[in-house]
Each structure stands twice: as structure tokens, then as C-alpha cells.
Structure 1
């Protein structure tokens, strides 16, 4: 299972707006992708609410994983961006 470690780029962290954008993209991809704090249980990346429960702030490290390498890469890329801009 591919796993990418990425630093949260959004100024407010993975809160409502960034989490919604990430969840919409994960849902559009149609494959299972997960986001988690290293060492904790990952959550479904297609759920904005679950992403927000991580409490990941700007500059925090998260892991994006799943069975599809392209999907993992796409979600990791979004996590690294400032989606509040």
C-alpha cells in the first residue's frame, strides 16, 4: 500500500474548507484513500468530518495512504497546498 508523508500546507490546517476540498477530490477518485497522523489510526479521506477530527494544523505531518498510487499522490498534493488562498 503506497504511503506518502506530507506537511499540511493550509494556513488554518485541515479544517472545514481544506477538508471539504480534499474530501470532494477523494470521493471523485472513486478509490479508498486515507489520511492519518503518523502513529494514529487513519481516517477516510472522502469524509470532510473525519479529516477535521485529525486536528492537523499548518506544518503538521500527515500520512496519505491507499491502494492506488495516483490517488494517494493526488490527495497528498492537495494536503500540501494552501487551500485557503
Structure 2
């Protein structure tokens, strides 16, 4: 079994970044703040031993925007 060095959120942020999304786009897509996205990417860079988005693209398979639902806040709307 292969163990992913990235947390699930780090992986999502990194894959979206590798696909060309900006930090603001990633934040909107995942329901996070831009600062949180920056932190996820910084940790992913360290764990992957890379220093730039260009290297990230080479290290990961890009994921198209819109693939992941926004964060579940636990609020339910009854109809």
C-alpha cells in the first residue's frame, strides 16, 4: 500500500493548484480562506520537496475545478 504524504486537504489544494487554479479560486472551491490554502500549499511543497507551482504540476495529476464540493458546514436545509 502506498501512503500519501499529504493530508486530504493538502492534496486537494495541491491538485487544484497544479491544474492552474489561483489560491483565491481554490479557497472558493473548497470553502476555505486564502490564508488556509496558502498554508496547505506551503506544507505540501515541503512534504513533496518542491519550491514552486511549476514543480507541483510535475509532481501531481491536475484536477479540474468544480470536481470537489465545498466544505460541509453541517447546516441542513429542510424542504
> Is the shorter-chain TM-score for this pair beyond 0.5, marking a shared fold?
no
> What is the TM-score with the length of structure 1 in the denominator?
0.34
Q: Report which of the two structures shows the higher radius of gyration computed on alpha carbons.
A: 2
Q: Which structure carries more helix by proportion?
A: 2
Q: Which structure carries more strand by proportion?
A: 1
> What is the TM-score with the length of structure 2 in the denominator?
0.36
Greater length-normalized contact order (CA 8 Å, ≥ 6 residues apart): 1
